[in-house]
Structure 1
Amino acid sequence: MATGSVKTHAAAAEEFLKDGERSHWHDETLWHVRQKRDTAAQKLPEWESLRDVASQIKDYVLSHLDGLLLQFEQKARENGIEVFWAKDAKEHNEHVYRILQENNVTKLVKSKSILTEECGLNHFLEEKGYDVVDTDLGERIIQFNKQVPSHIVMPAIHLKKREIGDIFHTHLGTEAGADDPGYLTEAARQHLRQKFIEADGAVTGVNFGIAETGGFVVCTNEGNADMGTHLADIHIACMGIEKLIPRAADLGVFLRLLARSATGQSITNYTSHFHRPRPGKKMYLILVDNGRTAQLGREDFRNSLKCIRCGACMNTCPIYRRSSGFSYNATVPGPIGSILSPGTDLKKHSSLPFASTLCGSCSEVCPVKINIHEQLYKWRQVITEEGPPQPAKKWAMKFGGMVMSKPRLYDFLGKLARRSLKNSPKGLIYNRFNAWGKKRDLPDVPKESFKEWYQKNRKS
């Protein structure tokens, strides 16, 4: 049941699943990325040790976040970086706008930043009269298409080549029907190069802030963050307060994990270090809370703040792969988004923790060992206790619990169900009350239960 005008995950997923061919293609594409991740991980004998160390470093950060943030701010200011704090998205956007106004910035380029998407920066600045140009290729594609990212690493993964060709034909004047990736990429390169040259301000995200030095690192595969910040006089870096690591020596651990987990690469093509503004230039850093402190205070969910935004949990999740990122109606979709989003708006995102099989694959691939599937289960408990009453579900669960607590009744009803399913007409089984049967057939009914089979065969 949707909350107001917001669809539940199940309702939004049903829309995506109407196009069976696209859903199947989306599933296969993301599973291919998951397999690349596995191949890259298996090449490192120390892979699990790296995950352990990264998780421990993040544990330390979350336990000492206040002191590390103050150290980071002090070092950054000593380096000549102007630092601002933002308690929420509104303050973040107002900081950016004020900086642009004070420095007479008229043309702005932006590299991919999940945080600025979270804060709705593009829309905010466009209402103020700015033309914000996203320079990541995937981000530019969806910006042309007036969409939001469907994936935090591959924002346009939901689009096929021919669709991107049509978008570029409309906005860049490429040949009609052309869908060669090389041709389209070159068209985007020429288009964006002029935007870089004209820009007098650049916005980037931050992958890692280093408390020890006051510097920060931005990772891209296209070099677009570098192009923007090197050519523009004003660099505004936007960083969630959880993105800290204590020392420069810790950085190598995360860089070895990030790209391998995200896309199966050994490292991102461009790993750019920023410590201070160049002569004649200005550098600003905005540290954003926007619900992170509240999440830190939730003992069962604080580990979600370890996330380094690799997207590995999305690439492996059978629900995300088949339903797409748009079905989550959140900036960060997939399993990690399903434990972050309810903390910001429980009513709006109450369906997300149920969009999971709880198979644990997300936790298995997480480079910083977040217990994602356990947190999903805990959110379900919170939502069930705090959400609106569901009498039908309540009584169904009570009945199920009573049946499972009585072995003889369970065995009897199991036999009855097997016979009924085998002999009942199809219309009686596949109807509007059977959600499972909407998109798939029930498995063949076994002749006996596992318990019966085991009792007959245990001696052998």
Structure 2
Amino acid sequence: IVHWAETAADVNRIVCELAAKYSVRKVVKSKSMVSEECALNDALEAAGVQVVETDLGEYILQLAQEPPSHIIAPVIHKGRAEIADLFEEKHHLPRKSAAAELTREAREMLRSHFLSADMGISGANFIVAETGTTLIVTNEGNGRMVTTLPRVHVAITGIEKVVPTLEDVTTLLRLLPRSATGQTISNYISFTTGVAPAGEDGPGHFHIILLDAGRTRLIGGDMQPMLRCIRCGACMNHCPVYQSVGGHAYGWVYPGPMGSILTPTYVGLENALDLPHASTMCNQCGVVCPVKIPLPDLMRKLREKQFERGLRPWVEYLGLGLWGWAARRPALYALLSGIGVRILSWMGGAEKLIHHLPLGGGWTAGRDMPAPQGKTFRELYARKKRQS
């Protein structure tokens, strides 16, 4: 049975209604970014349903009550010692330190949940229109447990994951693991088509929920290329901004360059003002994207829309206006740059750190700004040119 969900709230309502219909008390989940987008776990728990994440990274984050920081490796921000401490606290077992021992402990904990769950909820990397088949690509095998052991299987995904034929899927399956983890193919690729035949093991009820939540608004607009995104995570793996600030700094489900576009598009440009600016425009994300989404170009268009709608703070308009005026006068620009560098260097003092910067409080409120060292780029370039 296929359900259409206009909004995230519709997804939560449909799943909770299905849980009530089938008397579900426990749900096991495989990793699903769309369910994160909908805050589905909170909705199910509010309805009295126990939810257990079964992807190892997501399971760790559920114990820690934290959101993912990466769409492929959700717990990449945590170290092994931190995870060992968490398991000791939550599992009430002797502390283990080896990665294999920690993995075994998690597997033993999850095994009983797989066997006692009433409903399995999965995402879908792709859905094939001609057959109604859902595909799940995993390396841990939990996806197969979630989709085969419980008596009810619910697959939730965005409408952009629907592809016409199985032949189209084979092309995408060559791209996804290579770009996501560098593998030729992942350990498990699960094809699910309908309920289990009578007398066979498997779910007796199968529901697919297709989520819109702003996706149809992209059709025909500047952001339409984002509908090609296969959620491989390659863009964030090569992004210097993501590498510096981590996934949680992006404030919503999707981090990295893809999140800098998807989040403003889905939640509103005025609600994610900083994300289109979270880029150095180095174009590494555009180069590595397997489906050739022009990510820097899309971020630039979002920046343009912000200025057209007057969403940026007035001080930015003033600052850019003054900078543009000075930049059209090279001699004056060089003079002001030299003076600015020397003032900032003086403000840094012996520590070479600026603790408070006028008109730059957004930076220094949470961190110190390194004072510039030496001369301006123009001065260094001129000296190098003279030497050569």
TM exceeds 0.5? Answer: yes
Q: List aligned pairs for 1:430-449, cutoff 5 A.
A: 430=354, 431-433=356-358, 435=363, 438-446=368-376, 449=379
- Deviation of 1:212 (Å): 2.3
The counterpart of 2:55, out of the listed 128, 133, 136, is: 136
Alignment check: 8 A CA contact 1:174 1:187 kept: no
Q: Which amino acid aligns with 2:341?
A: L
Are 2:338 and 1:418 equivalent residues in the alignment?
yes
The counterpart of 2:288, out of the listed 323, 344, 365, is: 365
TM-score (norm 2): 0.89
Are 2:144 and 1:226 equivalent residues in the alignment?
yes
How far does the alpha carbon of each residue in 1:367-418 deviate from its partner, in whole angstroms, 9 at most, with x for none?
111111111111111112224463322122122222223xxx3134314533
Alignment check: 8 A CA contact 2:344 2:371 kept: no
Corresponding residue of 2:318: 395
Corresponding residue of 2:255: 333
TM-score (norm 1): 0.76
Q: Which amino acid aligns with 1:102?
A: K
Corresponding residue of 2:201: none
Are 2:36 and 1:111 equivalent residues in the alignment?
no
Corresponding residue of 1:190: 108
Corresponding residue of 1:273: 191
3-state DSSP of counterpart to 2:338: helix
Say if 1:452 and 1:115 are closer, same or farther in 2 by CA, change over 3 A. same
How far does the alpha carbon of each residue in 1:59-92 deviate from its partner, in whole angstroms, 9 at most, with x for none?
xxxxxxxxxxxxxxxxxxxxxxx11111001111
> Unaligned stretches of 5+ in structure 2?
199-203
Alignment check: 8 A CA contact 2:134 2:191 kept: yes
More helix by share: 1
CA distance in 1 between partners of 2:36 and 2:3 (Å): 19
Are 2:122 and 1:204 equivalent residues in the alignment?
yes
C-alpha RMSD of the superposition: 2.3
Are 2:231 and 1:306 equivalent residues in the alignment?
no
3-state DSSP of counterpart to 2:325: helix
CA distance in 1 between partners of 2:59 and 2:335 (Å): 57
How far does the alpha carbon of each residue in 1:159-211 deviate from its partner, in whole angstroms, 9 at most, with x for none?
111110011111223323x2211000000111111110111210000001112
Are 2:29 and 1:99 equivalent residues in the alignment?
no
Corresponding residue of 2:305: 382
Q: List aligned pairs for 1:18-417, cutoff 5 A.
A: 82-176=1-95, 178-280=96-198, 281-297=204-220, 299-343=221-265, 344-388=267-311, 390-405=313-328, 409-417=329-337
Q: Which amino acid aligns with 1:202?
A: G
How far does the alpha carbon of each residue in 1:4-32 deviate from its partner, in whole angstroms, 9 at most, with x for none?
xxxxxxxxxxxxxxxxxxxxxxxxxxxxx
CA distance in 1 between partners of 2:28 and 2:128 (Å): 25
How far does the alpha carbon of each residue in 1:279-301 deviate from its partner, in whole angstroms, 9 at most, with x for none?
2511111111011111224x211
CA distance in 2 between partners of 1:447 and 1:323 (Å): 26
Q: Determine which structure has greater relative contact order: mean sequence separation of CA pairs < 8 Å that are 6+ residues apart, divided by chain length.
A: 1
Q: Which amino acid aligns with 2:370?
A: R
> Unaligned stretches of 5+ in structure 1?
1-81
3-state DSSP of counterpart to 1:156: coil
Count the aligned residue pairs.
372
Aligned residues with identical type, % of pairs: 38
Alignment check: 8 A CA contact 2:257 2:295 kept: yes
CA distance in 2 between partners of 1:248 and 1:363 (Å): 27
Say if 1:415 and 1:89 are closer, same or farther in 2 by CA, change over 3 A. same
CA distance in 2 between partners of 1:447 and 1:110 (Å): 53
